[in-house]
Structure 1
């Protein structure tokens, strides 16, 4: 049973450029412009009309955009829940400008050991994450630690939790690594490791969407009976101001927005692509978290029920549910 036909999330790529070179990501390899403030203003109005509730300003490294604070402020003032993930390298310089504009602020950290984290990110950014945590707390912000889990760093989860998350009164967001294109993420987690991860997600101050674990146990999305609703739940806007379908990682089609995002999203051609969501050959076995999470939220099935407790837990801890109340919009 489908709960809503409206999209709930926009992954807004402000640039593909990045000041890190993560081994499990290929975005930083792409040449890229930066989005314009004028386009963001127009698109946010259309996203509001379409029913979108969450704007994820992403990249690349989103803090490379010199007007990122203005974009976040604009979206926040319009009643959107805003989210941003950063490697922390630029946050100390921009923290005061960003204060109060990001509802879900994530600092990426994949190890409690400086050398291990920096090696995976291809640049020395561990110290910047530690500095960012301290500054954010001083400003009254409530950042999360986003831990991307591979088989190679699973053993680091406990130390990050004990040494960094709990002492700083943060929230640990567990992000199981996913494969896409030719990006190498190493061996997939075993059934035993998935069980460990699921148990870890039940701890205090930890968020793990249990739907992610279940999907991996089931072998990912299956085109014969897809759980993925990427194109109908999530809009992807590129730095070139194009609507990308069915998702960023496949990106089989892109359409210039030209100030008419609402009309474009409602067009016959886009509707046709939306009907193919999760059914393309490349969709078989997919476990991409940023598109599965909204997919779990709009249709009542076993993944909906798996995801619901952890989703409620996170939103309660972060207080983001308050942003969805009618008087806040």
Structure 2
């Protein structure tokens, strides 16, 4: 049963450029422009009309955009919940300008050991994460640590939790790695490892969407009975100011927005694409977290009930529920 017909989220790619070269991502390999303030202002207005509640300014590395603070401030002032994930290399320089504009600020950290984290990210960024935690806390910000979980770093969770999360009173977000296109992420977590991850997610100051675990145990999205509602829950806007459907990672079609996002998203052609969400051949077995999370939230299913406790827990810890009132 569908609980919500309006889209929930906008993944707004400010640029595909990145100052890191993560081994599990290919976005940084793409040539890319930067979004413009003029387009952002028009699109945010239309996103509000469409009913979107959360805007995730993403990339690439979103802090490479010189006007990222203005965009976040504009979205925040309009009542959107704003989110941003960064490798933290530029955060120390921009922290003052970003203060109070990001509701969910995530610093990526995949290991308690500098060498291992930096190797996975392709650049020396571990020290920037540590410095950024101190700076953010000194400004009264409440950043999270986003830990992308692979088989090879599962044993690092305990140390990150004990040495980084608890002493700094942060939230640890567990982000199980997912496959897409030809990006190599190594062997997938076993059932036993997923069970361990699920138990770890029950600890205080830890967030794990249990729907992610259940979906992996079930073998991912099934095209005959799709869980994924990517196109109807999430708008993806590219740095070229195009609407990308059904999702960034599949990116089957792109439509120039040209100041008409509201009408474009409600057009007959886009409605036809929405009806194909989760049913395309490439959707079989998909577990991409950034589209499954909003998908779980809009339809009554076992994934909705699996995701609900952890979602309530995170929103309570962060206080973001107040922004939705």
Give 2:277's aligned residue.
Answer: 277
Looking at structure 2, the residues matched to 316 and 124 of structure 1 have their Cα atoms a distance apart, in angstroms, of: 34
Give 2:161's aligned residue.
Answer: 161
Give 1:84's aligned residue.
Answer: 84
Give 2:99's aligned residue.
Answer: 99
Alignment of 1:1-329 (within 5 A): 1-325=1-325
Looking at structure 2, the residues matched to 110 and 317 of structure 1 have their Cα atoms a distance apart, in angstroms, of: 22
Q: Mind listing any 5+ residue stretches in structure 1 that lack a counterpart?
A: none
Looking at structure 1, the residues matched to 66 and 39 of structure 2 have their Cα atoms a distance apart, in angstroms, of: 15
Looking at structure 1, the residues matched to 145 and 166 of structure 2 have their Cα atoms a distance apart, in angstroms, of: 11
1:246-293 deviation per Cα after TM superposition (whole angstroms, max 9, x unaligned): 000000000000000000000000000000000000000000000000
RMSD: 0.2
Q: Mind listing any 5+ residue stretches in structure 2 that lack a counterpart?
A: none
SS at match of 2:188: coil
Deviation at 1:195, TM superposition (A): 0.3
SS at match of 1:82: strand
Looking at structure 2, the residues matched to 252 and 301 of structure 1 have their Cα atoms a distance apart, in angstroms, of: 27
> Structure 2-normalised TM-score?
1.00
Looking at structure 1, the residues matched to 75 and 179 of structure 2 have their Cα atoms a distance apart, in angstroms, of: 31
Looking at structure 2, the residues matched to 205 and 39 of structure 1 have their Cα atoms a distance apart, in angstroms, of: 37
Deviation at 1:213, TM superposition (A): 0.2
Equivalent residues, number: 325
Deviation at 1:211, TM superposition (A): 0.1
> Structure 1-normalised TM-score?
0.99
Looking at structure 1, the residues matched to 191 and 44 of structure 2 have their Cα atoms a distance apart, in angstroms, of: 42
Looking at structure 1, the residues matched to 213 and 168 of structure 2 have their Cα atoms a distance apart, in angstroms, of: 27
Deviation at 1:18, TM superposition (A): 0.1
SS at match of 2:168: coil
Looking at structure 2, the residues matched to 319 and 43 of structure 1 have their Cα atoms a distance apart, in angstroms, of: 26
1:148-175 deviation per Cα after TM superposition (whole angstroms, max 9, x unaligned): 0000000001100001010111000000
1:29-56 deviation per Cα after TM superposition (whole angstroms, max 9, x unaligned): 0000000000000000000000000000
Looking at structure 2, the residues matched to 132 and 74 of structure 1 have their Cα atoms a distance apart, in angstroms, of: 23
Looking at structure 2, the residues matched to 108 and 200 of structure 1 have their Cα atoms a distance apart, in angstroms, of: 18
Looking at structure 2, the residues matched to 316 and 136 of structure 1 have their Cα atoms a distance apart, in angstroms, of: 20
SS at match of 2:173: strand
SS at match of 1:17: coil
Deviation at 1:194, TM superposition (A): 0.3
Deviation at 1:88, TM superposition (A): 0.3
SS at match of 2:152: coil
Looking at structure 1, the residues matched to 5 and 168 of structure 2 have their Cα atoms a distance apart, in angstroms, of: 40
Looking at structure 1, the residues matched to 168 and 4 of structure 2 have their Cα atoms a distance apart, in angstroms, of: 38
